[in-house]
Amino acid sequence: MTGPSLLTLPEDPKEARKLFQSLSLQNQLELVLRSRGKERLHTLFLSEHPEELVQSLPEQEIFLTVKEIGEKDCLDLISLTTPEQFQYLLDLEFWKRDQIDPEKVLHWIETLLESGDKKVAQFIRTTDPEFVALILKKFIRVTTLEGEQTEQMDSLPLFTLDQFYFIGFKGVKTREVFEPFLKTFSRIDSEGYRRLMEALISELESELEETGYRLRNSRLNDYGFPDFEEALDIYQFIQPESLLKREDAFKPIGPEPLRRESSIYYLTFHNEGPFFSAILSRIDDPQEQDRLKQEITSLCNKAIIAEAIDLSNLSGTERVIQKVYHYLNLGLQYLSGEDEKRALEILRFHPIQKLFQCGGSLTLLLRRRAETMLKGPWFEGDRENLVLLDPPYFDKMEGGLRKRPTFYRDGVSDDFKDLRDLKEMEGFLESIEEVTSFFEEGLKVSPRSLKEMDWSGCHPERWQEITLSTIFLTALANRNLTENFKFEPIERVRLKGLLSRLFERDVEGKGVLRTEVRKELRQFLQSIETDSKRQQHLVAFLHFCLDRFEEEFGKIPSEEEIDPKFVKGLLVRK
The band of 482, judged by pLDDT with boundaries at 50, 70 and 90, is: very high
Per-residue pLDDT, 509: 87
Average confidence (pLDDT) over 166-181: 94
Q: Other CB atoms closer than 10 Å to residue 258's CB: what's the count?
A: 18
The band of 276, judged by pLDDT with boundaries at 50, 70 and 90, is: very high
Distances (CA, A) of 442 to 204, 379, 482, 513: 71, 17, 17, 25
- Indicate the pTM of the whole model: 0.83
Looking at the predicted structure, is the pLDDT value of residue 7 above 50?
yes
Per-residue pLDDT, 216: 93
Average confidence (pLDDT) over 526-553: 94
Distance CA 414, CA 308 (A): 18
pLDDT per residue as tens digits for the range 282-333? 999 988 988 998 899 899 999 999 998 888 888 999 999 999 999 999 999 9
Looking at the predicted structure, is the pLDDT value of residue 511 above 70?
yes
- Structure-model confidence comparison of residues 147 and 562, the more confident one: 562
Per-residue pLDDT, 401: 98
Cβ atoms of 79 and 112 closer than 8 Å:
no
Average confidence score pLDDT of the chain: 91
- Structure-model confidence comparison of residues 210 and 564, the more confident one: 210
Q: Where are the alpha helices (DSSP H) in 337-402?
A: 340-349, 352-374, 393-400
Per-residue pLDDT, 108: 96
Poorest-pLDDT segment among 77-86, 255-264, 280-289, 378-387: 255-264
Per-residue pLDDT, 261: 55
Which phi and psi angles does 134 have, rounded to 5°?
-60, -50
Looking at the predicted structure, is the pLDDT value of residue 1 above 50?
no
Distance CA 503, CA 512 (A): 5
Per-residue pLDDT, 3: 42
Per-residue pLDDT, 146: 63
Per-residue pLDDT, 6: 56
Looking at the predicted structure, is the pLDDT value of residue 157 above 90?
no
Looking at the predicted structure, is the pLDDT value of residue 251 above 70?
no
Looking at the predicted structure, is the pLDDT value of residue 265 above 90?
no
Poorest-pLDDT segment among 116-120, 153-157, 455-459: 153-157
Looking at the predicted structure, is the pLDDT value of residue 5 above 70?
no
CA within 13 Å, CB half, 364 = 16
The band of 558, judged by pLDDT with boundaries at 50, 70 and 90, is: confident
The H-or-E segment that residue 458 falls in is: strand 458-459
The band of 155, judged by pLDDT with boundaries at 50, 70 and 90, is: very low
Computed from CA positions of residues 251, 254, 256, 260, in that sequence, does the dihedral angle turn out positive or negative? negative
Residue of 448, 439, 444, 475 lying closest to 385 (CA atoms): 448
Distance CA 212, CA 521 (A): 70
Per-residue pLDDT, 117: 94
Measure the CA dihedral 536/541/547/553, to 10°: -130
Looking at the predicted structure, is the pLDDT value of residue 152 above 60?
no
Average confidence (pLDDT) over 254-282: 74
Looking at the predicted structure, is the pLDDT value of residue 430 above 70?
yes
Per-residue pLDDT, 262: 59
pLDDT per residue as tens digits for the range 102-148? 999 999 999 999 999 999 999 999 999 999 999 999 999 999 976 44
Looking at the predicted structure, is the pLDDT value of residue 258 above 90?
no
Per-residue pLDDT, 477: 96
Looking at the predicted structure, is the pLDDT value of residue 253 above 90?
no
Per-residue pLDDT, 311: 83
Q: Within its chain, how far is the Cα of 530 from the centroid?
A: 44
Looking at the predicted structure, is the pLDDT value of residue 227 above 90?
no
Distance CA 446, CA 468 (A): 10
The H-or-E segment that residue 136 falls in is: helix 129-137
